[in-house]
Chains A and B, each alone.
Chain A
């Protein structure tokens, strides 16, 4: 079976004070190859935990994840990861960062050189390839991180708030780039974000998660990602449906936050 399937994942861990936290409860999900899914939810809803389990950095207490028919047990090159920031290797040049995966796999430059240069072109960093990564701006660094992930040709790309640390303008440009890369490469992408707008734009499917215990609240299927490919994202954002969905989801998350506040106050 091709694709990613998440089967009844639960995550529960003990605290030093004797209590325990139910970070995820009974999360199930199937992703087909080439799907773009965004995950949204208030803080504490377990979305980063879910991503870490998908990446293989954490083992779930119950349930299992299967990718292309085999069980996920640890990190692997088949699941690439893009972090919010700071995950580049600043002791390497831009090109060495991007070619890190193929080089670690023991491939010779003849095998990866043209692909890496092509990716540097796609993300617009061909002129900066010999620079040290710390000389680049935040947006350029995230483009290096995207290219580095793609150069390794993973089956699934996991993004943990990849644009969260960027300024509004850069962020919008990067959203366009993510859509372009998704369409060109046909990768399965799961993207976590705090921004409702970003989740609407960068998700064929949008998963809203709820906290305590972390679970899937609602799932949407949206047309905006498809509309945004090759188009002006600001036009997409002006679409009436976009605004309706945004208000709906904002209200949903607002209610969850209120509920948490109320519960915390009642407990104290």
Chain B
């Protein structure tokens, strides 16, 4: 909640600051328009906003994870670390109430720690010491070293002078001291506002992990093998799907019989999400490469068939008539009119299909796989290796974006006439 509030605050503040600082200096055509609200063509993404947006994400990420890339004064308050102290007041049968001090060393989880040495102190209740990890909590049996234990009616009645009873708790300057129903103290040091690395690691931990996995691999495969396998499945599945789907779509666009025969199948299969086929494909073909490729083939097939069909249907009849009047044969019309005319639609379909295949392969690998980007993050999540999970998500996003960019570039290069008919 606080993160969201800060995010909105940065959004609003940077909007006004940039608006104030960056007075309009250029006078291009758009800047001279007086009506911009409602004119879509006058809206261009503000590059400054994009940069601030990305910086803000990393700033918030770093600030709330105690990252080194964010200067210390911007960090959100971290968890308490060091020696915490509080006193308790105990009573026992036939004894006067006595005070003793508890020293708890709060340490960073994963580092070595020693129990602090303390003097036992005077009175029948002796001083105690223990350790608790940051963001964790620990039970502290303070009665164990006292002269009168629980069998002698040992009972804690106050923490730092404030009364306490089973089920209640007292807030101290170092953290919360609670009492279990049986009367055992439970110390929970202050957590601060930062996220624990097992929930959200700082950015540099993700980068470090990327370097580590890139060089050493994860689960018997290198990072490139994991990503390569995912890409390989997508490319092979898509190519087979296109090789079958495009001729099928052409046939459906050119023949009544094919259209009638395959329409029910295509129209039924199109709305079935490929993810819903995963269980069936695993039953039929197992979790190996065959199953994955069948799944991706099915994901791409219908999209490509429909794209090719609409490409054929979209050919202007006057073009076909013109070609016939110029003496072209059926095959020449196919080759020189229908196929080139359908290429823009097929490219659009291919972009959609590649996107769907990439999503489907990751999902299929999440379910079951021996290698692959999805498998990597799934296994890592089971071991709470959040840094690997985040790294995997970022890599999957980058590759998906890269695929789309490549398809767009190919489209621009190969079908420059798109949308210009």
List residues of chain A with CB under 8 Å of any chain B CB. 55-57, 74-77, 79-81, 83-84, 86-91, 100-101, 104-105, 132, 134, 145, 148-149, 152, 154, 158
Contact = CB atoms under 8 A, between A and B. Distances in A.
A153 to B, nearest CB: 10
Which applies to chain A's interface (DSSP): helix, strand, loop or mixed? loop
Nearest to B337: A89
B321 A83 contact: yes
B325 A79 contact: yes
14 contacts: A75-B325, A80-B325, A83-B322, A84-B318, A88-B319, A89-B319, A89-B336, A90-B420, A91-B341, A91-B343, A100-B328, A100-B336, A132-B417, A148-B326
Interface core residue of B319, B326, B327, B416 (most chain A CB under 10 Å): B326
Nearest to A158: B325
Contacts of B329: 104
A123 B325 CA distance: 21
Nearest to A104: B328
Nearest to B339: A91
A94 to B, nearest CB: 13
B327 A89 contact: no
Interface residues of B, number: 23
Interface string B300-342: 0000000000000000101101111111110010001100110
Interface string B399-421: 00000000000000001110011
Given A76-B327, A101-B326, A104-B327, A86 B319 contact: yes
Interface of B: 316, 318-319, 321-329, 332, 336-337, 340-341, 343, 415-417, 420-421
Nearest to A84: B318
A87 B416 contact: no
A236 to B, nearest CB: 30
B47 to A, nearest CB: 31
Contacts of A154: 325
Given A80-B325, A81-B325, A86-B421, A104 B318 contact: no
A88 B322 CA distance: 8
A152 B421 contact: no
Contact of A134 (B322, B324, B337, B420): B420
Given A75-B324, A90-B421, 20 more contacts: A55-B321, A75-B321, A77-B326, A80-B325, A81-B322, A83-B318, A83-B322, A86-B316, A86-B318, A86-B421, A87-B318, A88-B319, A89-B319, A91-B341, A104-B332, A105-B327, A132-B417, A148-B322, A148-B326, A149-B325
Contacts of B332: 104
Query: Top 6 closest A-B pairs, CB basis?
Result: A77-B327, A134-B420, A75-B324, A101-B326, A87-B318, A91-B340
A246 to B, nearest CB: 30
B321 A152 contact: no
Contact of A101 (B316, B327, B340): B327
Contacts of B341: 91
A87 B316 contact: yes
A57 B325 CA distance: 9
Given A104-B332, A132-B416, A134-B417, A87 B322 contact: yes
Interface core residue of B316, B336, B340 (most chain A CB under 10 Å): B336
Contacts of B325: 55, 75-77, 79-81, 149, 154, 158
Nearest to A85: B318
Contacts of A75: 321, 324-325
B334 to A, nearest CB: 12
A76 to B, nearest CB: 7
